[in-house]
A = this chain, B = another copy of it.
Amino acid sequence: MTATEKNKYVYDFSEGSKDLKNLLGGKGANLGEMTKLGLNIPPGFTITTEACLLYFKNPDKVMADIEPRVLEHLKNLEQITKKKFGDKNNPLLVSVRSGAPMSMPGMMDTVLNLGLNDDSVKGMAEQTENPRFAYDSWRRFIQMFGDVCMGIGDEKFERILDKYKRDISRNAQDTDLTVTDLQKIIADYKALYEKEIGYPFPQDPYKQLFLAIEAVFKSWNNKRAITYRKINNIPNFGTAVNIQTMVFGNKGWDSATGVAFTRDPSTGENQKFGEYLSNAQGEDVVAGIRTPKKLEEMKKEFPKIYTQLLKTMDKLEKHYRDMQDIEFTIEKGILYILQTRNGKRTPSAAVKIAVDMFKEGLISKEEALMSIDPFKISKLLFKSIDENAYIHVLATGINASPGAVSGKAIFDPDTCEQMANAGEKELILVRPQTKPDDVHGLYASSGVLTQFGGKTSHAAVVARGMGKPAVVGAQDIEIDEENKLFRVGETEVKNGEYITIDGTTGRVIEGKVPLIEPEIKGEFSELLILADELKVLGVRANADTPTDAKTALEFGAQGIGLCRTEHMFMAQDRLPVVQAMIMARHQEERQDALNKILPMQKGDFYEIFKIMAGKPVTIRLLDPPLHEFLPELNTVQLEYQELKMTNELSKSLLNSSPLDEELKKKSKVISLIRSLSEENPMMGLRGCRLGIVWPEINEMQVKAIFQAACELKLEGIEVIPEVMIPLIGMISELEHVKEQLVNVAREIINSYNVKLDYKFGTMIEIPRAALTADEIATEAEFFSFGTNDLTQMTYGFSRDDAESKFLPIYLNKEILMENPFETIDQIGVGKLMKMAVDEGRKTRPDLKCGICGEHGGEPRSITFAHNIGLNYVSCSPYRIPVARIAAAQAAIEAKKKK
């Protein structure tokens, strides 16, 4: 027998193995594998995916072809189990399950207890000495078969069930139903079936079986499954059908059922763990009527089987090279393994298990790394809410900056600052949205909550920069600024009352809540070292301040991939100077202001360079539109209006107008803001366009960068500045800006008389830059993909607007399967990125390419970055461990594919 044996169609479990996944599906192959391992698996067989595909071409022929083979295998099952299909004394019951080569929602799942009918239910009742269980199984089978195989809506069965339960009492449970009740229900179920389908419920178990097989086949091509395959690019494999003997843990006190883990899933400790119930079915555990016993108690109750189980557990863990979650049943003193799979575990357990197993020599370091889900690792790095705690979620907003924090809700930045100065430490700033003027309040707080705005809103960006938790755009809370409170539904939260925000999930929670401190154990560091040995991609940090830079280094950053200079402009003590610069009436006034900013910027760069000594630091020149540094037009206009009315009142009453001067000033500010305001600021005067219109701003920044770098050089510290010009769309822009700035840089380097390695490069964030990357690369010494903006413009999505207005609807209607701002859209945006890398390197083979958008810390995007040949990813300091692991995984996977 080989994988290519044609038209065999049906395989006994003993013929299967994990290599036959395409033919037998994942489930079938695994059952085969366990059978081969010599474990006692309830016997069964698998109908191949090949049969499924042929079924769609010629259903009658395929059903005719497989019928004798299925019957042959069934006979075999009867012989092994010494039971008989449809027998009223000792009936053979089977489960029927679909099983495609890749796990796939939307397909038919499982039918249990197939083979039950009015006769065999009696045999079951007798054997289990539990007629209630037997009739309930019979009821459930009719319902499952009717719903899953024949498409009768489940709610129709539930309606019947509810009626009988209500007849008993208002809050009756399934378990309150007697055998007589169940028999009545079964009669009603059968009547429903006949009405819906047109003929009676099949009593013949063979008929049941073949109908179920066809239902599994058909489910492969139902609409949801097709859509899922299309979206996830899954080939038309076909699905296999698994038919397996049912075993029962409730056939007496020599029977039992349980679950076991080969290691502790919550701590990762290398000790076995499990629970079981004697004379019970799995459902009894779920129903929670009886409390399960600890695995160790089996030692006394089932001593032989206990030893057998422990051996099996060891065998399975070694075979599957991972911690296993095993379902088992003891039927009349015989141990059956029903299922084994890699066990779910907490993030910290995952890390410990991986590192332990590697150290035990059980798995390679590649396997250790591949066993980690990088998405979950970030939980280890932030405070999180104790999952066992009772919490009252008030609202859910956008998870803008991770971590959980409890604190007093404070509704204005000034109060926040005063309270912090007075020693208060737990403060959460709550605002409709934040503006540059609020930054001192943000500094003073431990977290921020806003009613409006998205992941790129001011509050989100600043909080991420400061590493503070933030929930933004929580539109369900209604802030009443005047009265300093917010309302959500019936609840009112007043100034100074405690709330908790969870920036990892976006939840806003009432009151103080128990938090779990992040823990980075020894194993975590060990794992990261393994990751570094395997990864190819560099991992850099997005860091705007010396504090960020220090954190980044601690987490293992190999450089800074994005240092945003606007953050420095926003600092509270600088904003007035920056505003003066913007409001300057002529170039000299502007130059004056810039001269004041220069030493501040230089100081920042000096500190950051010093911390990152010897590592590259990519500094992005000023990017946001200038009006972001000014107060909001609306606010100023309303102030003006108020002043004006007061003035007029004063004029009419007192015949004096004392506010004339102030009005004039305000009016000028309004004109300025208006002249800078834009219809679509995202696509307006920002990025390199600023530098082209006001070259003196860029010039000041480059002076600051190179003066700082040269001074450190003189002190003997290695500095590698990389100047990044944002929002380039045309080679002519880059030529224009670069020429000016390279001259400035050279002059400074010459004046300090040092040797300095530096680079000038560009963001690739405008589609046109990607499309003309061959040209851009003539001047750019590196490309850094700004995947946020690139995604915005490639989709034509303004992120803030999209996420608050229609992306949720898109995700809900499955027009989008994922938010492209969270994981890179590899089909569209990715096509541009690949094009840019390939074309750019045609011009400049050693072109360094990286990502500095938020996707740089997202595992699937990191895999993509590896696959298109980027040199590095850059992400927020706290994402660096995740990125190191994801980068290692990407390298391992790519190597495997080769």
Using a CB–CB distance below 8 Å, which chain A residues touch chain B? Answer: 231, 633-634, 637-638, 641-642, 645, 649, 678-685, 689, 692-693, 727, 729-730, 732-733, 736, 765-768, 771-772, 775, 789, 792-798, 800-802, 805-806, 809-810, 813-816, 825, 827-829, 831-832
Contacts and interface: CB of A to CB of B under 8 A. Distances in A.
Given A771-B828, A828-B772, A831-B771, A680 B798 contact: yes
A816 B732 contact: yes
Contact of A683 (B642, B692, B768, B792): B792
B732 A809 contact: no
Contact of A681 (B680, B729, B767, B816): B680
Nearest to A682: B680
A815 B730 contact: yes
B729 A796 contact: yes
20 contacts: A645-B645, A679-B681, A679-B800, A680-B680, A681-B801, A683-B792, A683-B793, A684-B802, A684-B805, A685-B801, A689-B806, A693-B806, A729-B794, A730-B815, A766-B795, A767-B767, A767-B793, A767-B796, A771-B827, A775-B827
Contacts of A810: 692
B798 A789 contact: no
B767 A680 contact: no
A825 B736 CA distance: 19
A796 B765 CA distance: 9
Given A680-B798, A682-B679, A798-B678, A815 B692 contact: yes
A721 to B, nearest CB: 25
Contact of A815 (B641, B678, B733, B792): B733
A805 B678 contact: yes
Given A789-B796, A796-B789, A806 B692 contact: yes
The 7 closest A-B pairs by CB, nearest first: A680-B798, A684-B801, A683-B798, A768-B828, A678-B801, A680-B680, A766-B796
Query: Which has the most chain B C-beta neighbours within 10 Å: A679, A765, A792?
Result: A679
Given A692-B806, A771-B831, A809-B692, A798 B684 contact: yes
A247 B654 CA distance: 87
Contact of A795 (B768, B800, B815): B768
Given A649-B649, A679-B681, 8 more contacts: A637-B638, A645-B645, A681-B801, A684-B798, A729-B795, A767-B767, A768-B829, A772-B827
Contact of A680 (B692, B693, B733, B801): B801
Nearest to A453: B679
How many copies the complex holds: the figure is: 2
A771 B638 contact: no
A512 to B, nearest CB: 32
Contacts of A649: 649
Given A637-B638, A729-B796, A806-B693, A682 B683 contact: yes
A825 B775 CA distance: 15
B813 A692 contact: yes
A139 B793 CA distance: 60
Contacts of A832: 767, 771
Contacts of A802: 683-684
A824 to B, nearest CB: 13
Nearest to A679: B800
Contacts of A816: 730, 732
A800 B829 CA distance: 26
A567 to B, nearest CB: 20
Contact of A727 (B231, B729, B796, B805): B796
Contact of A693 (B642, B727, B809): B809
By CB atoms of chain B within 10 A, which of A680, A793, A796 has the most?
A: A796
Contacts of A771: 794, 827-828, 831-832
Nearest to A807: B689
B795 A736 contact: no
Given A641-B638, A680-B682, A683-B682, A794 B809 contact: no
A727 B732 CA distance: 29
Nearest to A800: B679
Q: Interface centre among A641, A683, A685, A733, by most B CB within 10 Å?
A: A683
A768 B833 CA distance: 12
Contact of A798 (B634, B679, B733, B765): B679
A815 B739 CA distance: 13
Contacts of A692: 806, 809-810, 813, 815
Contacts of A641: 638, 641-642
B683 A732 contact: no
A771 B633 CA distance: 38
A12 to B, nearest CB: 42
Contacts of A806: 685, 689, 692-693
A544 to B, nearest CB: 22
A641 B801 CA distance: 27
A733 B772 CA distance: 28
A635 to B, nearest CB: 11
A810 B802 CA distance: 30
Nearest to A804: B678
A840 to B, nearest CB: 15
Nearest to A641: B641
A645 B649 CA distance: 11
A786 to B, nearest CB: 10
A599 B166 CA distance: 51
Contacts of A829: 768
A685 B797 CA distance: 9
A678 B683 CA distance: 14
A693 to B, nearest CB: 5
Interface centre among A637, A766, A767, A797 (most CB of B within 10 A): A767
Nearest to A828: B768
Interface centre among A680, A681, A793, A797, by most chain B C-beta atoms within 10 angstroms, is A680
A226 B495 CA distance: 66
A637 B766 CA distance: 36
Contacts of A805: 678, 684-685, 689, 693
A590 B736 CA distance: 53
A576 to B, nearest CB: 24
A690 to B, nearest CB: 9
Nearest to A674: B452
A478 to B, nearest CB: 10
Contacts of A772: 827-828, 831
Contact of A794 (B634, B689, B767): B767
